[in-house]
Chain A
Amino acid sequence: MLYDIRMTIRYQYPSHATAGRYLLRLMPAVLPGVQRVIAGSLTVSPEPVEQLAGRDFFGNETVEVALGEPHWESRFSIAARVERRRISDLLDVSPRPEDLARDIAAHATLDASAPHHFLGPSTRVQPTPEMTAFGREAASGSATVYEIIRSLAEKIHDEFAFDPSATEVDTPVLEAFEARHGVCQDFSHVMIGCLRGLGIPAGYVSGFLRTIPPEGQPRLEGADAMHAWVRAWCGHQMGWVEYDPTNAVEVARDHVVIATGRDYSDVAPIQGVMRSAGMQSTGQSVDVIPLD
């Protein structure tokens, strides 16, 4: 699948911001065998006085920009052509739930893909006994770890209302969990919390979803903004698997990955906006156009 992707994120300040420094994670990732960036460009206005490319612990590409002159508005845009290969149907070779801990313990490394990073609390996800109980309900009757992931995603999709007006980017996961509503970020955080409560390593993926669905299929939620979904570790043999709880679908070829981490904090598209004075209004526009 070939996509042309365009996104613009805009901030407006009530009084001018004299300077700012931001860490950006906006560009689709290069994932050997799965995702290829044929061409991509980043535009920032006002013109940055410093711009430095880097890579974070989880392997995500970052760009640090410093905006020097006083400005009332800042704008971050990307344009990219991305090829996404279809992940062929998964064969469930994940262990039985009770055997997963053994697989984790045998994994004696701390590299970016190690499961250990994705258990326990992280900045935005603190598993609670209630979440664990919710997860356990979904898990009952599942013979494998992967089955738990599927049925948990379905349970969240069934019981939670997709409501873009209900939550904001800083809404704590517990609030979204208790109110049973939110957007893709909340759905993903809830699912991560439940999975970790069950001892299943789980992380957060930010990315895009194709805007216009294939012929005869419904338009998916979250296509008009940046999207988010979940990755979970299914043991040594199966490794990391991605699942979209907002739409209760496997991640195949309609999703384009930007970054992965423990939760939203690790992959926030623009880090560092809070330091400028006062409230900011933001706008976001996303287009993901399939070319074939």
Chain B
Amino acid sequence: MSEAPEADRRDPVARFLKDYRPPAGVPDELIGADGSVRPVWAGFIKRLASMTPERLASRMAHGDQYLRDAGVYYRRYGPQDTGQRDWPLSHCPLLVAEEDWSEIAAGLTERADLLERICADLYGANRLVEQGHLPASLIAQSPEWLRPLVGVTPRSGHFLHFVAFDIGRGPDGKWWVLSDRTQAPSGAGFALENRIATQRVYSDVFAAANVTRLAGFFRAFRDTMTGMLEEGEDRVGILTPGPLNETYFEHAYIARYLGFALLQGEDLTMHDGRAMVRTIEGLRPISVLWRRLDAAWADPLELNEGSQLGTPGLLRAIRDGRLTMVNALGAGILETRALMAFLPRLSQLLDGQPLRIPNIATWWCGQPSERAHVRSNAEMMMISPAQATGLAHETAAMASAEAEDIAAWIEREGPSLVGQERIHLSTAPAFVDGTLVPRPMSLRVYLARTASGWRAMPGGYARIGMTAEANDLAMQEGGRVADVWIIGRTTEPAETMQPAYSGAISRAPLAPLPSRAADNLFWLGRYVERAEHLVRVLRALHARLAETEAPDAPLLRRTAKYLDSFGCDMDQPVPEALVEAISAAFGSAGHVGDRFSVDGALALGDLTRTAEEFALRVEAGDDAARAMSVLLRKLSGFGGLVHDNMYRFSGWRFISLGRAMERASTMCACLAVFADAAAPEGALDLAVEVGDSLVTHHRRYAVATSRATVVDLLALDALNPRAVLCQFDHIEAHLAKLPGTGRHRPMSPLTRAVLRARTDLALQTPETLDSAALRRLEDEIREMSDQLTLAYLT
């Protein structure tokens, strides 16, 4: 062990960075060429160096806790597992000086304008092809050059409104564009989350560091988008592929943050040439969509015929100038990798100057001399598909993997290949096991078109490789994401999305609920209630099994048969049908990510995991009875969140309607079986137990259970929250608050169905309400549910 040099002991920064050794050949963001900390980092590093490792670790845990509480995740695709993953936050932000940043923003603004002009030409006059500046075959072969949109001028006058660029710093210290994101760039919402989480970790440092805020950027973008709406429209929509998409969480998050409606293709329908949102109040027009859907999926009539994610006929509204897509469908062509080979010349041609920030050197192998160049320099190149989009190093592995002669391959496949200079990215600090180490870095910069031109989002998103290799930046492969702080010279006033308070408050009117969201909320209510009913019956069954009743005792046989009518297999202590009901509830909640509380989603996630885990290990009898009690507690916890905390907007009414209809229906079924005249001994008690009404029964009747008391309490007592009649009262009350109903409206098939069922039941006595009558009620509830679906949910 050698002693640390004298200077290190006195200087905490030097001590803190003693293991930080940037690799040779590329610049490091933290340490300058002279070996000292760059000025922009000085204050931050000094602060870090002053903290104990324990303190630092506990602060990072703060940030992680925030991300978990907020439910931030992205979806991961893999050969074995597809599922949600925690957001891979790198706990050290990247610091960029304001001067450096304004040069980046200016360069990328020029690039965005250049791309806009190229796009307008490719879908318009096509002069670049005709004059030989772009090869016709490259464009014609692109899956992103969408023929149905050729000749269409966007309603807004622009193809691009929101773009992103991945840029990296090369060995000479200059920035290079690695890829252009013009299709449907994701990640801006994650940048917000990066910021909030990182701010938690470094709350005191952040406040003093003059970091440019993100909110102003989003406000300007939101105002621009909202400004494009037509008179009388509610909101801008975000068009998402749905919960199975990698970044669905972000779509839901940014929809909430900006106050936009989160829509899937089936939420929309075409009517008289306009795009309409199906809501519970009927069709509502919408003219601005920020799409997170790749263009090919947007309209199965004119684009990808197999798409289930789009809206048939949507293109007509675009063609007729009734709908703005951000970005325009077809703008994805600008991501074509081979296009980068032509951009330097196009910049000269269209702007009369070289690219202010160059892109990574690219050669399209469809041209003889370029092909020859790539062939003879193949070992210094990444060779990849010419039509590919995305970062080159994500798909470049193919060249080396193929054992065949690369030269012959390039010669044969020429036009479908590009060669790109191998990139060596600068390194930035990242924490690995509590120690700061240099890792390759690329920056993602977002630009939004606003009333006053392009505006760059000031920082927020950098990708950090988790090995020293430059090609491990992809998140799917273990890369991490860091916040980016743009450090100004002067303090910034805090900005938020909220307009300043100015006198009287006004509540924004609630936009109508999309029918699909209402449908998912309704089924969420039903599935949770069904799960609860099954859990209660299963608990009653296993408790009796544990008390050594023989499994073939008449009551247990009847119970097993009853459970079988719900698809429960009695060989499974935690039947698959129960796990399915719970995961169906979770799935429904996942479809309404933007209008469902994070706590509620976490509670359902926890419930699903618990049920799945129980299904693997719980045994029949006492073990199962106890497991059911655990599930019941978790279900009640979820119910509490929904019914105590959820805002009483119409979405909540659909959850409640689902619950009430399911509860009424299962109680009828339960009574028809367990309060039947022919039911074995003990059945009535079981029904009361399942109806959670033991105490009440005792208080109300003070006698042992009889068929009359049980039916009275569980079906006809409007004060018992488990009774069927009470559900009908709830259903009536909720329906009265939904659009299109109410006291002075004519009756609809739905209100008629409810009134009929409620009246039928209210006129019954325990004697007349026999099993056959209960079965009839079940049918009437089914009719109610069908009518509700027809009226609001389709």
Contacts and interface: CB of A to CB of B under 8 A. Distances in A.
Interface of A: 18-19, 21-23, 50, 52, 54, 56-58, 64, 66, 104-105, 107-110, 114, 116-117, 119-120, 123, 265, 268, 271-272, 274-275
10 closest A-B pairs (Cβ-Cβ)? A116-B140, A57-B147, A21-B312, A116-B136, A23-B301, A116-B137, A120-B141, A21-B313, A117-B140, A272-B301
Given A271-B301, A272-B301, A109 B130 contact: yes
A64 B130 contact: no
Nearest to A20: B312
A240 to B, nearest CB: 16
B126 A110 contact: yes
Contacts of B141: 116, 119-120
A109 B129 contact: yes
A109 B300 contact: no
A275 B300 contact: yes
B140 to A, nearest CB: 4
B136 A107 contact: yes
A107 B300 CA distance: 31
Nearest to A109: B130
A56 B794 CA distance: 31
30 contacts: A19-B269, A21-B301, A21-B312, A22-B301, A50-B270, A50-B272, A52-B273, A52-B316, A54-B316, A56-B147, A57-B148, A64-B313, A66-B313, A104-B137, A105-B137, A107-B136, A108-B129, A108-B136, A109-B136, A110-B129, A114-B136, A116-B139, A116-B141, A119-B137, A119-B140, A268-B305, A271-B301, A271-B302, A272-B300, A272-B301
Interface string B140-157: 110000011010000000
Candidate in A108, A117, A272 with the most chain B CB atoms within 10 angstroms: A108
B305 to A, nearest CB: 6
A57 B794 CA distance: 34
Contacts of A274: 300, 305-306
Nearest to A23: B301
A213 B148 CA distance: 38
A206 B313 CA distance: 23
Contacts of B316: 52, 54, 64
Contacts of B301: 21-23, 64, 271-272
Contacts of A21: 270, 301, 312-313
Nearest to B314: A21
Contacts of A114: 136, 140
Nearest to B387: A120
B312 A108 contact: no
A109 B137 contact: no
B35 interface: no
Given A64-B313, A272-B312, A275-B312, A110 B305 contact: no
A271 B140 CA distance: 23
Given A57-B147, A108-B130, A110-B126, A271 B305 contact: yes
Main secondary structure, interface of B, reads loop
A54 B441 CA distance: 49
B132 interface: yes
B302 A23 contact: yes
A60 to B, nearest CB: 11
Contacts of B136: 107-110, 114, 116
A48 to B, nearest CB: 12
Contacts of A58: 147
B264 to A, nearest CB: 14
Interface residues of B, number: 28
Nearest to A56: B148
Nearest to A170: B306
A114 B148 CA distance: 16
Contacts of B139: 110, 116
A64 B302 CA distance: 10
B9 to A, nearest CB: 66
Nearest to A18: B794
Candidate in A110, A114, A123 with the most chain B CB atoms within 10 angstroms: A110
Contacts of B272: 50
A41 B91 CA distance: 68
A110 B139 CA distance: 8
Contact of A109 (B126, B150, B306, B308): B126
Given A104-B137, A274-B306, 8 more contacts: A21-B301, A23-B301, A52-B316, A56-B302, A109-B126, A109-B136, A110-B140, A116-B136
B141 to A, nearest CB: 5
A287 B301 CA distance: 27
A104 B136 CA distance: 10
A57 B129 CA distance: 17
A265 B794 CA distance: 30
Contacts of B313: 21, 64, 66
Contacts of B129: 108-110
B119 to A, nearest CB: 14
A49 to B, nearest CB: 9
B370 to A, nearest CB: 14
Nearest to A118: B140
Contacts of A271: 300-302, 305
Nearest to A52: B316
Contacts of A56: 147-148, 302
Nearest to A124: B305
A275 B141 CA distance: 28
A123 B148 CA distance: 14
B285 to A, nearest CB: 15
Contacts of B140: 110, 114, 116-117, 119
A108 B130 CA distance: 5
A274 B147 CA distance: 22
Interface string B407-448: 000000000100000000000000000000000000000000
Contacts of B131: 108
A57 B312 contact: no
A104 B415 CA distance: 14
Contacts of B269: 19
A209 to B, nearest CB: 25
A274 B310 CA distance: 13
Given A110-B139, A114-B140, A265 B305 contact: yes
Interface string B269-295: 110110000000000000000000000
A116 B129 CA distance: 12
A189 to B, nearest CB: 15
Interface string B458-484: 000000000000000000000000000
Nearest to B310: A275
A195 B665 CA distance: 64
A101 to B, nearest CB: 10
B522 to A, nearest CB: 18
A168 to B, nearest CB: 15
A274 B313 CA distance: 14
A213 to B, nearest CB: 34
B276 to A, nearest CB: 12
A162 B312 CA distance: 35
A136 B301 CA distance: 36
A272 B306 CA distance: 9
B150 A57 contact: yes
Nearest to A54: B316
A123 B302 CA distance: 13
B790 to A, nearest CB: 10
B270 A66 contact: yes
A54 B148 CA distance: 11
Contacts of B270: 21, 50, 66
A108 B270 CA distance: 37
A123 B300 CA distance: 13
A116 B416 CA distance: 14
Contacts of A19: 269
Contacts of B132: 108
A20 B148 CA distance: 20
Candidate in B132, B136, B150, B416 with the most chain A CB atoms within 10 angstroms: B136
